[in-house]
Structure 1
């Protein structure tokens, strides 16, 4: 069976929402990872610059006392000139320290726009214990979107001897940061697009699986309805030699349930209960069930037990258990004089109050081996006399509005029409529940 458009819309909305959420989450995660990678790039670039600086002053590192301090200073200042400024970044403040952290040479670029922040980094000091333990230390900071790294590393001469430290503030060029951020954004966007594309590719697969599941569900529901049909028909045939009563009374009950505003769950319980309301009669002896005359008091007491038998039967099935209120309560009376529990008023489940009216209406308008069918006027007069005693007044008043069309369409009808209409009406509640909540209306009776 084709799925309804509402299912497809719901699937599309949920799939798109889930895909967008996952894409946003993946994009944020990838962006976070890539931004951390930018920090790693900055650290590596600064470490490489520090290593180049070490080789540039290696001659003085090999000399006692760090050699010629002025020459070291000139070497430090050389990258700060406009012509020699490297494109990737540079030390805007750098110092060479001896092993006692005394400054031997220094150079700086006061023209750097965040030079104050660079000086503040140096003034805040470094973690000397970490530097001595690992031989290097760094801290990345961001100022107005620019990345600067305060780092220090141990200096060794060509013989591998520890002779001092290099401390500096390295500023990455805006162009490098811009490229890194663009790359991070592109990677994150690609990851998000992959998620969305995957969702798009999965959609037809999901819809096919949904169709299969929907088809299997429909098959199961049809099978359950057929079993319901068979059980109800078997009891009806044993009792009255016809199963059309079950179809008619269920149609009447559905229309009355709709008229009284039952919920979909209540309607499903009502339909099941209508089909199986007399299922407990399977436990009643034929001598009583098929007796043409009036029952004795003892026989009537035994006949009442069909309610308990029915409750036991439907109670054994989880799918049929919601039929119990109708099976147990359809012989209760509004004034409390019914059986089998003697409930009254609103203590009687509404589905049972609804079914009681439909059941009596069909019984009065149907021909049985022991009685003739009554006309519409006489039937409605009998129902009216039971208002407030046998029947719920509100339910009966609702039935009065629809009774003429039901009488015209179905009473004394024993062809395929009731079966067809009931099948279509039941689809709304068991297979194709109409999302717009439209109820069924009987067609005009045809020949």
Structure 2
């Protein structure tokens, strides 16, 4: 199983377990409350029916106490263990208690005279494991009429019914738990498929972007070198040093893109100046230096290539501030541009160009050391110096295709390209 699939499976499993852990107790509670409410609704309806049948809904006449007593006796024994009927003023008119109710009454919480306007109930877990429901019913002659009295009853839940309610609640809780687990199991392949499809499409876009970057870089490089290998070499050299310095993620991607496109502005420099074998005069040098601004214009607004501007716009700056076009110095120069400047000069001195032969490695390194602290960032140059012998040996004798293979491996590491 791939790393992504393992992570996805782990996360979906974690979310599923959390859902099950949260939903199952909730389902238990809801199921139990629903069962309670069904019992209470039945008890309330029966109490209303009996009271209405006994003429005990209106409790203000001379026979109110007698009628209330008869109704209370009818309600105890089968439906309630304790039945109490109150007048509209909250005074108790009648009470009927079964033997079980007498033992139960001592353990019930006390309350004041009734003043409620809506039916309700209390679920009571009593010492000894007994479970009782206390119902409160305001009495009215009509649903919208004034309250004429109150009925309060206490019903103990038989053991078999208690077990049935708990069993139903457990089944409901188990069903919710299983549903959560099944849902997670069903979602996993769907998520993996969608993510794979999205990764594939994103990969195609990324591949096309990198191919465009390489093609543009090669086209520019071939204007002043025999092949497009220069861009692969300098990008690989710069990225190798950047890895040693700890660059990762977007910073590394910007460095690589900037390395490929560092001389993008040379597309606007006349061949007479760009390919001149001798030294450029002041006017020609002024024209040549415009390639930095031209390059920035090319990559600016190109979306994912915007990060290349750090290298494109600053690779001719110098550590002591004597570079161009902005005269930046020290840490004001972006790190990617400082790294690239070393790789670019190293490759320029080490490579054959239409107007020069390559210099020996030792001479190239001596020239770079002469620029330490003036042209180049000392810390970056020290890192490059440690890596240079191995990097130089690895590049020796490689043609454009082989150099491209080196850089392709680097790009795959830092752009998350699937092999």
> TM-score band, normalised by the shorter chain?
0.7 to 0.9
1:412 positional shift: 4.5
Aligned counterpart, 1:15 = 12
Question: What are structure 2's unaligned runs of at least 5 residues?
Answer: 142-146
Aligned counterpart, 1:440 = none
Change in 2 beyond 3 A, CA 1:71/1:420: closer
Q: Is the 8 A contact 1:237 1:243 kept in 2?
A: yes
1:9 positional shift: 2.5
Q: Is the 8 A contact 1:42 1:149 kept in 2?
A: no
Change in 2 beyond 3 A, CA 1:359/1:103: closer
Q: 2: CA distance between counterparts of 1:226 and 1:67? A: 97
Q: 2: CA distance between counterparts of 1:226 and 1:353? A: 25
Q: 2: CA distance between counterparts of 1:347 and 1:71? A: 96
Aligned counterpart, 2:122 = 140
Of 275, 280, 300, the match for 2:260: 275
1:325 positional shift: 0.7
Question: What are structure 1's unaligned runs of at least 5 residues?
Answer: 81-85, 132-136, 157-161, 435-447
Q: Deviations over 1:155-189 (max 9, x none)?
A: 99xxxxx9987543333334423321331232122
Of 316, 328, 331, the match for 1:331: 316
**Please, which moves more after superposition, 163-172 or 36-45?**
163-172
1:278 positional shift: 0.3
Alignment partner of 1:125 is 2:113: yes
Q: Deviations over 1:189-241 (max 9, x none)?
A: 21232122012012112111111111111111111110000000000111223
- State the SS of the aligned residue for 1:416: helix
Of 354, 365, 375, the match for 1:390: 375
Aligned counterpart, 1:114 = 104
Aligned counterpart, 2:407 = 422
Q: Is the 8 A contact 2:90 2:115 kept in 1?
A: no
Q: 1: CA distance between counterparts of 2:8 and 2:68? A: 75
Q: Deviations over 1:15-40 (max 9, x none)?
A: 12322333344334433432331331
Q: Deviations over 1:286-322 (max 9, x none)?
A: 2211212111101101100000001111112111010
Q: 2: CA distance between counterparts of 1:69 and 1:307? A: 105
Of 361, 373, 377, the match for 2:346: 361
Change in 2 beyond 3 A, CA 1:119/1:93: farther
Of 264, 273, 290, the match for 2:275: 290
Alignment partner of 1:91 is 2:80: yes
- State the SS of the aligned residue for 1:142: strand
Alignment partner of 1:37 is 2:27: no
Q: Is the 8 A contact 2:203 2:417 kept in 1?
A: no
Q: Is the 8 A contact 1:332 1:340 kept in 2?
A: yes
Aligned counterpart, 1:134 = none
Q: 2: CA distance between counterparts of 1:322 and 1:101? A: 81
Alignment partner of 1:380 is 2:365: yes
Q: Is the 8 A contact 2:338 2:376 kept in 1?
A: yes
Count of residue pairs brought into register by the alignment: 407
Q: 2: CA distance between counterparts of 1:296 and 1:96? A: 115
Q: Is the 8 A contact 1:93 1:118 kept in 2?
A: no
Change in 2 beyond 3 A, CA 1:93/1:382: same
Matches within 5 A, 1:152-191: 152=137, 154=139, 167-191=152-176
1:73 positional shift: 8.8
Alignment partner of 1:46 is 2:28: no
Change in 2 beyond 3 A, CA 1:51/1:406: same
- State the SS of the aligned residue for 2:135: strand
1:260 positional shift: 1.7
Q: TM-score, normalised by structure 1?
A: 0.81
1:57 positional shift: 6.3
Alignment partner of 1:305 is 2:287: no
- State the SS of the aligned residue for 1:238: coil
Aligned counterpart, 1:314 = 299
1:336 positional shift: 1.0
Q: Is the 8 A contact 2:65 2:94 kept in 1?
A: no
Q: Is the 8 A contact 1:94 1:169 kept in 2?
A: yes
Q: 2: CA distance between counterparts of 1:99 and 1:253? A: 92
Of 224, 229, 237, the match for 1:239: 224
Q: Deviations over 1:345-404 (max 9, x none)?
A: 111111111001111111111111211111111111111111111111111111111111
Change in 2 beyond 3 A, CA 1:43/1:370: same
Q: 1: CA distance between counterparts of 2:249 and 2:65? A: 94
1:117 positional shift: 4.5
